[in-house]
Amino acid sequence: MSTDAMSYVVNDAMVDTDIQGYMLNQSEWNSEIANVIAKSEGLELADEHWDVLYFLRDHYRNYNHSANARLLIKMLTKAWGPEKGGKKRLYELFPKGPARQGCKIAGLPAPIDCTDWHL
């Protein structure tokens, strides 16, 4: 397994990431970068994705850490109801995990429970 960091190319500029694909500089994030990361994850972003991404970014800005899946599902179910913010819908939007995949696309660090400590 390679331990090299990866990067995304957006408008001829390199966006540096860690070895798991999470951005190293969250302040560089924008919608174009999000779309490139989403595409690399096999997703095309719709309005519901953006709602979750902005929620994740607001949470990070307010608490200085990325929300894990349990916390994210709890907060979004309370805020948006189970149909839009519940576990089933969030995993439909982000099949690799709403916190793990959502944070990656939102340009945030991996939630602490998503870190592969063995790397």
Q: Which residue has the tokens 């519940």?
A: 86
Is 114 annotated in the active site?
Answer: yes
In tens, the pLDDT along 73-117 reads 999 999 999 999 999 999 999 999 999 999 999 999 999 864 443
Rounded Cα–Cα distance for residues 16 and 93 (Å)? 25
Where does 7-79 show beta strands of DSSP type E?
Answer: 7-10, 13-16
- Which of 67, 114, 115, 118 is flagged as catalytic? 114
Q: Comparing 31 with 9, which gets the higher pLDDT?
A: 31
What does the domain layout of the chain look like in residue ranges? 7-114
Which pLDDT score, from 0 to 100, does residue 6 have? 75
Which pLDDT score, from 0 to 100, does residue 2 have? 41
In tens, the pLDDT along 17-52 reads 999 999 999 999 999 999 999 999 999 999 999 999
For the chain, the 3-state helix, strand and coil shares in percent, each to the nearest 5, are: 50, 10, 40
The CATH number of 7-114 is which of 2.60.450.10, 1.10.10.370, 2.40.30.10, 1.10.540.10?
A: 1.10.10.370
Distance set, CA 99 to CA 2, 25, 70, 119 (Å): 24, 18, 9, 20
| Contact status, residue 103 vs residue 22, Cβ threshold 8 Å | yes
Which pLDDT score, from 0 to 100, does residue 4 have? 53
